[in-house]
Amino acid sequence: MAILSIITAPDRRLKVKSQPVEAVDEKIRGILDDMLETMYQAPGIGLSAVQVGIPKCLITVDVSPDDEDNAPLYLVNPKIVAFSDEMESYNEGCLSLPDQFADLDRPGEVTVEYLDYDAQPQQLRADGLLSRCIQHEMDHLKGRLFVDHLSAVKRGMILRKLEKIRRQKVSA
């Protein structure tokens, strides 16, 4: 397994729409393993393949509490088939927007269909943090960041801050 480089905004590669995976083979499982290791190292609770420069419909998620064993989920070609009507607000962040957070409303519950690590079809009803994480990562597959849900003013402030940090790193 390997630690992959996480792309940070503003970077056009984060706006690329991901393509479906044709087959869950050893290469795809290797990417999933690397994504999971990268996510844990970051540390984070979710990672999409596009965030590491691979525009494929792949997501890793683990929302287990720190004091419990890891409980990773691998979602290949995920599709949300149902949303709850009830919205929940949460202060969201993203590995591709380091140290930036904003309150965001999302449906409190989703039902998602996907292929698992072994290419088996699965359906999962998720609520709470797992629901939010899945929705957040699925936005990445569509080329969307959590800041794209914010007002233009808030989004601009966050992206300008990240661009300033990037310029400081380059000149250092």
Q: Which residues pair with 74 in a beta bridge?
A: 60
In which residue are the tokens 């088939």 written?
81
37 is catalytic: no
**Active-site choice (22, 26, 109, 137):** 137
CB 106 within 8 A of CB 131: yes
Residue whose token pair is 């601009």: 156
Please state, in angstroms and rounded to a whole number, the distance separating the CA atoms of residues 49 and 57.
7
Taking the CA atoms of residue 50, residue 53, residue 58 and residue 64 in that order, the dihedral angle to the nearest 10 degrees is: -80
Contact assessment for residue 140 and residue 58, using Cβ atoms and an 8 Å cutoff = no
Q: Residue 41: which residues within 8 A CB-CB, separation 6 or more?
A: 3
Enumerate the active-site residues.
Answer: 137
